[in-house]
Structure 1
């Protein structure tokens, strides 16, 4: 399952059925679990842990040192979960000791060509990062978020669950759950209703989220006033819990 031209460090740990393509280099302190396939000319540096059934395409670079001037060789990590697709020329960097020390990608993510995930980013599950999307350091991406091609996300920003961004969006502030965002810098343009339908949200649930969006963005309320109104609305709409939690924990402020 390992091409004879691949270079595997003796300190790497690979499950017996892992596939490694031609001319790939797997460094020390790299672990790769069962069912994962690594294409040709891939470089994986450690410490990096890769889970089960991932498909990593040719020319990806995973686990390299963070692009941070403060980095001084500390033993930080990259962790990748299960069932991810990582396409050509992706670059994922390890974390820094100034944050959690670990860059994490969860499960079932679809990550297209030329995507960059910088140090200390936290990408959850079931996301789609389209071609040439770039995450600066310390960015958090929640479940089912979709970033359109060439979306750029400023450091420390958070992208909420079920968000979708248009092609070429530039994100300087946090994007709350369910919101559709586009532009430079990005602004809100309604909710991701089609995505919610595809994930099984009922018409009633989507209507409650639309009402919450109007409260947050169309009612001419301050953010504090909108939070209070949303707190009342969530008594009949559990989907607003993650929206309110997001608003309470935002540190960069939200797009408005």
Structure 2
């Protein structure tokens, strides 16, 4: 794996288009050694479009938690047909699900923050670690505007938890700019966005929000907004390696 000067890269790419950051990392690390993590969000649909235009053989994966909305699965189908490619799909270990649901019931994640994080670990984090063990870098659709926990993230980072590079090409984009790209390129998106959803995850932990609420306030709405994350993006990040 090549050693990259992340501080210099973040200075160089701060005013460049996201496609340039994507093309750079794919060329540096190799198309088989970089993967885009897609939750089928509007941000990830934008990155899917950009990445596949750069390299149609690019790797894009989805973590199927088993609790997604049907609309999310419908969009997954539509996206594969649109671009004539297949997502890599990773799922939780059945033994983990069986153990916790048998002991605590199907809705145990509502009982405490600790149990909710355990559910996220089983359904999201462990499958994520499996796929990230096969690459040297991953691309994410994170934006600073989304959450207080994302205010310090940069375009190029070192993911200490997974010992790989992490690239956030649209970290400085606004939600409005994401929608502008979606509409300009006529990209497929989850129809739940038209019903008041602005951040879509597992069905039991996601709800529509009211005008003026934070974009992620519909996720784990019963928790402190300054701290809530599922664990996928809390691996310890640095812009200097």
Same fold by TM-score greater than 0.5: no
TM-score (normalised: structure 2): 0.23
TM-score (normalised: structure 1): 0.22
Structure with greater Cα Rg:
1
